Amino acid sequence: MTYSRFNGDFVARTLLFTSGHNAHYVEKAFASDADVIVLDLEDAVPVSQKEEARVSITRVLNSDLIDRRPVFVRINPMETGDTLKDLDTVADPRLYGFVYPKTSNARDMEVFDAQLTLKEKNLGIEKGHFKIIALLETPEAILNAYSIATASKRVVALLFGSEDFLAEIEGEHGPGGRSILMPRHMISMAARAAGVVPIDTPYVNIGDREGLKRHMEEAKELGFEGMLVMSPSEIELVKNYYTPDPIELNRAKEIIELAEETNKANRGISVKKGMFISPPTVSKARKLLARMKKIEVFEDFLNGA
């Protein structure tokens, strides 16, 4: 397959991580229907196997497994001393970008941006080729979410990591997800304010589909566009949930049509067919239709259209 890079708006309804050193899991990931695949060099890889994972990822990036989907690598953060080792080995033109873990502040993004610029120059590819998903996993990161999102034009998404966050605050998962509600909301707001994609934390109770549905309902209320999935078995459910359904789309179109009637009547707001028609509801409807359009463009690209 000839590699072709997607250059449209970033879509990440389902973000699937897989350990970079495990060929079996890597093959399963690429056999899945995930929107985005992340090859992991950090937590999922034991220290003794980091180099093996780097070599394995390089092999994957030059294999027929690579298709038209965006592929990222989660590198090791600066404090480990492995970041440049990771970049020197796995940076490749067929890589869409990197997930930067343990992001703390804007400075992390600025330093990493500079490293990527140098790597692009050495590889002979255009500046800005590599994108960044900033993984926010600490209280400091949550409080700095907006400045992180706007520190580099490479940042395409903010991703929440709840397990490290709870470990940092010495908290735990509580009923109804209440212990992570505030950081989820803060990340979504920061991402929206910065114009990047908010991606939710994974639901850690694998196999609990009803719990997963409740988790996604909360995420949708908070404005998330996708989530990190723990298993390929979750992908179909999650992808469908984060894709606007016909009822939502028809309602959005109707709101826009009714708004035109309201405007012709020289009114700013109205209630028609049981729906509140106002500038905010019209704006939300237009955004929903725009999101569906970018999903359609993305899926057409994946299908070779």
pLDDT tens per residue across span 119-164 = 999 999 999 999 999 999 999 999 999 999 999 999 999 999 999 9
Cβ contacts of residue 242 below 8 Å, gap of 6+? 13, 14, 216, 220, 224, 225, 226, 227
- Within this chain, do residues 93 and 38 fall inside the same structural domain, yes or no? yes
Q: How many CB atoms lie within 10 A of CB 135?
A: 24
Residue identified by tokens 């590699």 is 3
Query: Which residue blocks in the chain are alpha helix, DSSP H?
Result: 23-31, 50-61, 83-90, 106-123, 139-143, 145-149, 162-169, 181-194, 209-222, 235-241, 246-264, 279-302
- Within this chain, do residues 177 and 258 fall inside the same structural domain, yes or no? no
Dist. CA 294–CA 10, nearest whole Å: 8
Look at residues 218, 241, 264 and tell me which one is the last residue of a structural domain: 241
Kindly report the pTM of this predicted structure. 0.94
Q: What is the pLDDT of residue 121?
A: 96
pLDDT of 95 strictly over 80:
yes
Q: Is 267 annotated as a binding residue?
A: no
Residue 4 lies in a domain: no
- Within this chain, do residues 183 and 144 fall inside the same structural domain, yes or no? yes
- Within this chain, do residues 211 and 279 fall inside the same structural domain, yes or no? no
Dist. CA 305–CA 301, nearest whole Å: 5
- Within this chain, do residues 156 and 29 fall inside the same structural domain, yes or no? yes
Q: Is 137 annotated as a binding residue?
A: yes
- Within this chain, do residues 115 and 261 fall inside the same structural domain, yes or no? no
Q: How many domains does the chain have?
A: 2
pLDDT of 1 strictly over 60:
no
- Within this chain, do residues 21 and 120 fall inside the same structural domain, yes or no? yes
Q: How many CB atoms lie within 10 A of CB 305?
A: 8
Q: Is 164 annotated as a binding residue?
A: yes
Dist. CA 169–CA 223, nearest whole Å: 24
- Within this chain, do residues 251 and 182 fall inside the same structural domain, yes or no? no
Q: Which residue range is the domain that position 153 belongs to?
A: 14-241
Residue 254 lies in a domain: yes
